Structures are given as C-alpha cells and as structure tokens.
Amino acid sequence: MSPATVADPQAIAEVFSYVPLLAHLNERQRRRLADLATTRAYEAGSTIVRQGDTSMALYVLVSGHVRIERESEAGKSVQVEALGHGGFFGEMGLIEDRPRAATVIADEETECALLAKWDFQNELRTDPDIALALLPVLGARIRDLDDQLVRLHHTDGG
C-alpha cells in the first residue's frame, strides 16, 4: 500500500457520481465530499481491509478490482462479491462503530478514494439532506448483505 495522496477532487466527484450510495446526492454535495477524500494505491494481492478491524472510512474504487471475502463460522473464507471501478465498501462504518464485516483484497493494482467517518459526519451536520439521500441506498445494501449471509449459511450446510 502506498501512502495517502490527495487526488483531483473533480475526478473523485465524477467517480462518486457512479456510486449508488452517492449518486442521489447533488453535484455540490458530491464535490464537497470529494474535497475531503484522500486516495490510496494498493498492489495486487494486498489486503485493503480485514474482517474484524475497526471501520473508519468509506472506500470507492477509482481503478482496479477487488474481491470481498467473509469468514464463515466454520472458519472457511468465502468470496461474497467482486467490485470494479465505482464499486464501494465500508459504508456502514460511516454510521456505526462496528468491526468490518468482511476482508477486501486487491485482485490487481487498485486505487481507492477514502472518505473518513469524521469528515462524513461533519458534512452531515452541515448538510442533513445528505443523510436523507443515503437512507434508501443503505436500506437496500442491508437487505443485500442479509441475503448474502443467508446464502453463506446454506453453503456451510447450516
């Protein structure tokens, strides 16, 4: 992993417009969030986040490809999703203090824009309409994760 860098906020705002979580925001709101983001580069095979670690940021893929794996109760690592450009993970860490639910690994050289929890929450205080725009997307994401857990349980023979 390389150190954090500050990328072009306009380019990050454009990537944010493809992210379902942020697409419902207006251009000004996305640009304000992009101004707060930093970018990090990861080599192929690098673990970006690990299941159980503290969750403190939303990650948006600017380039590259990742796989998301979750360890089952039986200790088996199972791929639950793959993401490319515009994919995102870590959104629940923006709103709650719980450990990461999965491990994310770079399948190739990958660059992510990171939006820190504290920056996001400060923006919500400034512009509460951001929260209203995110609620439907977060609700759908929770339902999708629940469905994945049910499938994972069935895969383990439970």
Whether the pLDDT of residue 158 is over 70: the answer is: no
Q: Tell me the average pLDDT across 98-111.
A: 94
Among 34-38, 39-43, 114-118, 138-142, whose mean pLDDT is lowest?
138-142
Whether the pLDDT of residue 95 is over 90: the answer is: no
pTM above 0.75, yes or no: yes
State pLDDT tens for residues 39-81. Answer: 999 999 999 999 999 889 999 999 999 999 999 888 888 899 9
SS (H, E, C) the chain: CCCCECCCHHHHHHHHCCCHHHHCCCHHHHHHHHHHCEEEEECCCCEEECCCCECCEEEEEEECCEEEEEECCCCCEEEEEEECCCCEECHHHHCCCCECCCEEEECCCEEEEEEEHHHHHHHHHHCCHHHHHHHHHHHHHHHHHHHHHHHHHHHCCC
Fold of 9-117+126-155: Jelly Rolls (2.60.120)
Q: How is the chain split into domains, by residue range?
A: 9-117+126-155
